[in-house]
């Protein structure tokens, strides 16, 4: 493994590169894989047209929980394994990552499992149009968008995914990034908000308190994804860090009500359904 930041990467228990993650990643993956399992029955009816799992921030496919010796599967590996336990497995696993070594490691780990993996090089924005074009738009697909920052969750990803008729999207929206960097991101020298929510500058007032500004940005983004035909499920799951700090929301987007019902069953109804208090 080339020289890397040892705070972020390590050698996996299978000899391939692995990423170090916080313990909260377990909660995130449980919610994603629970959704994979519960959505297996309708997926079974789409095996002819295709039922893909899409992960454009796939990482290495294996992680070490920081401060422990415990390794866990990364999102594409965990999702594929869980689909095998459900009534309907995925017919393809479409992955990409801007880091070639991470993508190669995830591809190898999935190949060992005989997963129908298709790797697409490049960043999420570069690979997503290729992924969408490779799929039957009438299949039943699930995308997991798990970026490293708010700016990486660029709106073009949703625009591409919305071209698919039957698509469920689980998106990681970083609360901590929004809280830490809202002041800086409003500067025209920074493009994070522009990528996340294009056109926000003409719709959202910046001369207001930080809480109101953050809520307005998220509301504007919510309206834009809904306009694409991807309304949000009622419950948004808040993932917290080891000290209780707010890290990010996991949000389901889908035009199909059955997907919303599934999400309500696997997510926590006790969480606030609104982007409040951030």
Q: What is the CATH number of the domain that holds 159?
A: 3.40.50.150
Report in angstroms the alpha-carbon separations of 82 from 90, 110, 115, 149.
10, 13, 12, 26
Instruction: With respect to residue 108, please indicate whether it lies within any of the assigned structural domains.
Output: yes
Any domain includes 68: yes
Place 274 in a pLDDT band, splitting at 50, 70 and 90.
Answer: very low
What is the pLDDT at residue 185? 58
Which pLDDT value is given to residue 20? 97
Residue for token pair 């920081």:
66
Predicted pLDDT of residue 273: 46
Q: What is the pLDDT of residue 270?
A: 38
At 203 the pLDDT is 83
Per residue in 49-84, pLDDT (tens digit) is 999 999 999 999 999 999 999 999 999 999 999 999
Rg (CA), the chain: 18
What is the four-CA torsion angle of 73, 77, 79, 81, rounded to 10 degrees? -100
Structure-model confidence comparison of residues 165 and 4, the more confident one: 165
- How many separate domains does the chain show? 1
Domain contains 192:
no
Residue 99 lies in domain: 9-174+231-266
The predicted-structure confidence for 117-148, as pLDDT tens digits, reads as follows: 999 999 999 999 999 999 999 999 999 999 98
Q: Evaluate if residue 46 carries a pLDDT over 90.
A: yes
Quick check: 22 pLDDT over 80?
A: yes
Nearest CA to 222 out of 209, 207, 234 is that of 234
Say whether pLDDT at 276 is over 70: no
Q: What are the pLDDT digits (tens) for 213-257?
A: 788 888 899 999 999 999 999 888 989 988 888 888 999 999 999
Q: State whether residue 43 is helix, strand or coil.
A: helix
Q: In the structure, what pLDDT confidence band is assigned to residue 102 with cuts at 50, 70 and 90?
A: very high
Question: Within a domain: residue 135?
Answer: yes
Q: For 111, left (φ over 0), alpha (ψ -120 to 50), or beta? A: alpha
User: Do residues 137 and 112 lie in contact, with contact meaning Cβ atoms separated by under 8 Å?
Assistant: no
Query: Would you tell me the crossing angle of helices 257-266 and 25-38 to the nearest 10 degrees?
Result: 130
Q: Is the pLDDT of residue 34 over 80?
A: yes
What's the confidence (pLDDT) of residue 186?
A: 63
Q: Are strands 246-254 and 237-240 parallel, antiparallel or unpaired?
A: antiparallel
Helix axis angle, 25-38 to 75-85, nearest 10°: 30
Please give the pLDDT value at position 190.
62
Q: What is the pLDDT of residue 183?
A: 62
Report yes or no on 258 lying in a domain.
Answer: yes
**Which tens digit of pLDDT belongs to each residue from 161-218?**
999 999 999 999 988 877 776 666 566 646 778 899 888 888 888 777 777 878 888 8
The verdict on residue 38 lying in a domain is yes
Q: Tell me if 226 is assigned to some domain.
A: no
pLDDT of residue 269: 58
Instruction: Compute the distance between CA of residue 99 and CA of residue 60 in angstroms, rounded to an integer.
Output: 9
pLDDT of residue 275: 43
Q: Dihedral sign, CA of 147, 93, 74, 102?
A: negative
Q: Where are the beta strands (DSSP E) in the chain?
A: 9-11, 17-21, 52-55, 62-65, 71-73, 92-97, 117-121, 140-145, 166-174, 237-240, 246-254
Do 65 and 25 form a contact (C-beta atoms < 8 A)?
A: yes
The answer to the question of residue 190 being in a domain is: no
* pLDDT for position 2: 56
Q: How confident is the model at residue 36 (pLDDT cuts 50, 70, 90)?
A: very high
């Amino acid at each position: 493994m080339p020289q890397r930041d040892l705070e972020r990467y390590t050698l996996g228990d299978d000899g391939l590169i692995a990423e170090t993650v916080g313990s909260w990643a377990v909660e995130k993956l449980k919610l994603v894989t629970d959704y994979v399992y519960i959505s297996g029955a309708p997926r079974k009816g789409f095996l002819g047209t295709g039922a893909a799992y899409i992960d454009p921030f796939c990482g290495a496919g294996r992680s070490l929980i920081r401060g422990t010796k415990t390794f866990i599967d990364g999102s594409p590996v965990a999702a594929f394994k869980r689909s095998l336990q459900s009534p309907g497995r995925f017919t393809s696993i479409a992955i990409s990552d801007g880091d070639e070594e991470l993508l190669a490691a995830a591809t190898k780990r999935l190949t060992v499992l005989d997963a129908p993996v298709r790797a697409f090089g490049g960043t999420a924005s570069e690979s997503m149009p290729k992924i969408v074009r490779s799929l039957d738009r009438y299949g039943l697909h699930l995308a997991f968008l798990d970026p490293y920052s708010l700016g990486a969750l660029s709106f073009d990803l949703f625009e591409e995914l919305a071209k698919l008729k039957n698509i469920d999207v689980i998106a990681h929206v970083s609360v901590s990034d929004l809280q830490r960097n809202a002041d800086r991101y409003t500067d025209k020298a920074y493009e994070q908000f522009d990528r996340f929510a294009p056109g926000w500058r003409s719709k959202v007032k910046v001369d207001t308190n930080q809480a109101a500004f953050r809520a307005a940005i998220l509301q504007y983004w919510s309206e834009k994804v809904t306009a694409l035909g991807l309304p949000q499920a009622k419950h948004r799951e808040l993932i917290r860090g080891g000290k209780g700090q707010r890290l990010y929301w996991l949000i389901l987007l889908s035009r199909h009500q059955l997907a919303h019902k599934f999400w309500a069953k696997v997510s926590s109804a006790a969480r606030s359904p609104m982007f409040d208090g951030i």
